[in-house]
Structure 1
Amino acid sequence: MRKIIHIDMDCFFAAVEMRDNPAWRNIPLAIGGSRTERGVISTCNYPARAYGVRSAMPTGQAFKLCPQLVLVPGNMDKYKAVSTCIQAIFHRYTDIVEPLSLDEAYLDVSACDLFQGSATRIAEHIRQTIFHETGLTASAGVAPNKFLAKIASDENKPDGLFVIPPDQVSNFVSTLSLRKIPGVGQKTAEKLAKLGLHRCSDVIKADLKILVREFGSFAETLLERSQGLDSREVHNERERKSVAVEQTFSQDLTTPEQSMQPLAEMYQKLIRRIERCEATEQIQKIGIKLKFQDFRQTTIERQHPELCFQLLQQLLVQAWLRGQGKAVRLVGIHVGLKSSGAQAQLDLDWMH
């Protein structure tokens, strides 16, 4: 039985700014791009969230909800430095740490002898240490697996701790909303709701044939998570799965032709990023993403072993057609990379 902790810093970027400028502590504050340049909110503090401001929200919309919002452009170098300090704290308790971003990580403390091996007390001590050394608060979830630990860390936010003991897993997941399961977005949730499936307990009672018919391979994940099961291990190193470049435009683009020049510029930038990552030989697919004026988005990918500008142009036109005349506010291009495991298997097969 694993003992997994998920640590999630509370409104991390905003919290760092509030720590360094106490005058901002009790007023609505957000980190993000300018509202005059089609910016997006990166994160915001809890006073701002009370007005409905959220991460990934267009900055202009955030100001409509909260006209008195204080907007800070952010300082990524400073946030990375603080994150490095926090990651160092994690490693005092276990070497099995999987960072998800600058402000959250999984820790496997199954073999940790501190506090008589109590994952709950370890998590609480980590939170206290982070606050003592950085002045920032963190929320923590403790559970037998990654799926439940991540959900638990969100239960008592901010500055909270929530524990799901092994003998309470069944009770906890029985009433859990299916929207909490990673991979269940708005469309999947609507599809589940039409089948009368709203909570994990509903999936357990559902007809397996219907689940497979409607959700394909994702049906297996639905069933496992609905039982509180997750066999994924905490990995010390995260493998890069993709490299991407995106551009949000100050004015909506109205024709595919208008996006061709930005596409060429992003293409050159993507080449440089791939070279820096030393991933040229790992490319297995390339793709285009468009975000339309109504903020809906579409992605088209094709299997291809190398970057190809002509193919990206074709995919761009196809993506525009999906918009059925809608203007475009963002264009993105990306490559998907082979996993090291997949490459190793290919090499072994070749030897035979």
Structure 2
Amino acid sequence: MVVRGIGGRGVVAAASYEARRFGVRSAMPMRRALELCPQAICIPPRMQHYRQVSRQVFAIFHEFTPLVQGLSLDEAYLDVTASRLLKGDSVAIAKAIKSRIREVTGLTASVGVAPNRLVAKIASDVNKPDGLTIVTPDEVLAFLDPLSVRRLPGLGRKTGQKVEAAGIHTLGELRRASDAVLWPIFGRHTPRIRERAAGIDERPVTPDWEEKSLSAEETFDTDIADPARLHAELARLADRSCARLRAKRLVAGCVTVKIRRHDFATFTRQRSFAPHSNESRVVANLAHVLLDEWLRSQPGARLRLLGVGVSDLAPAEQLDLFEVPGRTPSTPLDEAIDRIRERFGQDAVRRASSIRR
């Protein structure tokens, strides 16, 4: 089974373990996924349902510790050091969390128990689905050394290829490799890479980790050159980004528009603004200006992708500090639209500016 994006140019959002055996993976173009696994059952994503279940899962995490650092809808770091007196040792806590998730949601969970974030992350990935992998401090090297270098979080596909081309295939080999081999690949980051291959990670679990930016983008089924259609798509993407801001009770002070031409050349245009806002109208208006400026320099350009991002984020509680006298806020309208969509679905109500003509 494959969860796919909408349209002919969609990408794989998630793949079942059965589909993964055929080489299907997240972010793969759907056409390629269906070439590898033509019998795959493709279903559209249900983001509203995913978010609801994610809230249930994170509520369970908080039953065991306040130190929860979310990585995505379904993944988080938990520091249970201070919970062990009340909840039992780390393994008992891990088993209890798995049991509670199954009880509340009906889902399985894979858990890694280890001395630090890095090793716990790797451990959680090696025995899916429904795994429980325990790595004690004195077992870290024995656990990591045989693993593929591709298991190291943050080591991208292209860098992984370079590492393997240098004759390094396991984390143990990476840990023991000389500077002469690693420096041409990693440069000044070589010592840090060697530490990570050895499972050394001093980063704490930070539950109040601050997001730096939010964005929404879409790859079109067919290239679009009509400026009116592009602006309608842009308005819809700006609305999505701002809805996420409001859901997280954040405001932004910078807008970025991402533009990808039919030939895959990619451009970004960015502008700061004041006061900070999470109003769809404010962000969309600035995004329209940025797109118009780019289109004037690229008349007739056909686009395959547009995106709208917001950054320079701050808590929405500070919004009053940024208000401008005489300005009429549209936030009540935004919040009403958000509530309607939460209850009836994302397509229940649309802004006129985002309707494709």
Same fold (TM over 0.5): yes
For 2:293 and 2:101, locate their aligned partners in 1 and report how far apart those are by CA, in whole Å.
49
Match of 1:121 in 2: 92
Question: What's the offset of the Cα at 1:150?
Answer: 1.1
Q: Secondary structure at the match of 2:193?
A: helix
For 1:46 and 1:37, locate their aligned partners in 2 and report how far apart those are by CA, in whole Å.
23
1:154 aligns with 2:125: yes
Q: Secondary structure at the match of 2:82?
A: coil
Question: What's the offset of the Cα at 1:164?
Answer: 1.1
Question: What's the offset of the Cα at 1:271?
Answer: 5.0
Equivalent position amino acid for 2:212 in 1: K
Could you tell which deviates more after superposition, 40-49 or 233-242?
Answer: 40-49
Equivalent position amino acid for 1:95 in 2: P
Q: Secondary structure at the match of 2:113?
A: strand
1:249 aligns with 2:220: yes
Equivalent position amino acid for 1:242 in 2: S
Question: What's the offset of the Cα at 1:215?
Answer: 2.3
Alpha-carbon displacement from aligned partner over 1:203-236 (angstroms, at most 9, x marks no partner): 3333436644542343343122112111222121
For 2:296 and 2:115, locate their aligned partners in 1 and report how far apart those are by CA, in whole Å.
47
Aligned mate of 1:103, from 74, 99, 121? 74
Question: What's the offset of the Cα at 1:292?
Answer: 6.5
Note the aligned Cα RMSD (angstroms): 3.6
Question: What's the offset of the Cα at 1:149?
Answer: 0.8
User: Structure 2 unaligned runs (5+)?
Assistant: 274-285, 316-357
Aligned mate of 2:150, from 170, 179, 187? 179
CA distance change for structure 1 residues 79 and 239 in 2, over 3 Å: closer, same or farther? same
2:251–2:313 contact (8 Å) kept in structure 1: no
Aligned mate of 2:3, from 31, 53, 73? 31
Alpha-carbon displacement from aligned partner over 1:85-129 (angstroms, at most 9, x marks no partner): 211111111111112222111111011125774211210111112
Alpha-carbon displacement from aligned partner over 1:30-52 (angstroms, at most 9, x marks no partner): 32235x54333322323333444
Q: Secondary structure at the match of 1:147?
A: helix
For 1:269 and 1:275, locate their aligned partners in 2 and report how far apart those are by CA, in whole Å.
10
Match of 1:330 in 2: 305
1:165 aligns with 2:136: yes
Number of paired residues? 296
1:289–1:333 contact (8 Å) kept in structure 2: no
2:259–2:303 contact (8 Å) kept in structure 1: no
1:205 aligns with 2:176: yes
CA distance change for structure 1 residues 95 and 193 in 2, over 3 Å: closer, same or farther? same
Alpha-carbon displacement from aligned partner over 1:251-294 (angstroms, at most 9, x marks no partner): 246xxxx286565445545655665535432x3x846363877x
2:217–2:237 contact (8 Å) kept in structure 1: no
For 1:339 and 1:264, locate their aligned partners in 2 and report how far apart those are by CA, in whole Å.
27
1:288 aligns with 2:258: yes
Equivalent position amino acid for 1:280 in 2: A
What TM-score does the superposition give when structure 2 sets the normalisation length? 0.69
Question: What's the offset of the Cα at 1:140?
Answer: 0.7
What TM-score does the superposition give when structure 1 sets the normalisation length? 0.69
Match of 1:189 in 2: 160
Match of 1:6 in 2: none
2:148–2:171 contact (8 Å) kept in structure 1: yes
For 1:228 and 1:208, locate their aligned partners in 2 and report how far apart those are by CA, in whole Å.
18
Question: What's the offset of the Cα at 1:183?
Answer: 2.4
For 2:26 and 2:133, locate their aligned partners in 1 and report how far apart those are by CA, in whole Å.
23
For 2:119 and 2:296, locate their aligned partners in 1 and report how far apart those are by CA, in whole Å.
41
User: Structure 1 unaligned runs (5+)?
Assistant: 1-28, 320-324, 341-352
Identity %: 39
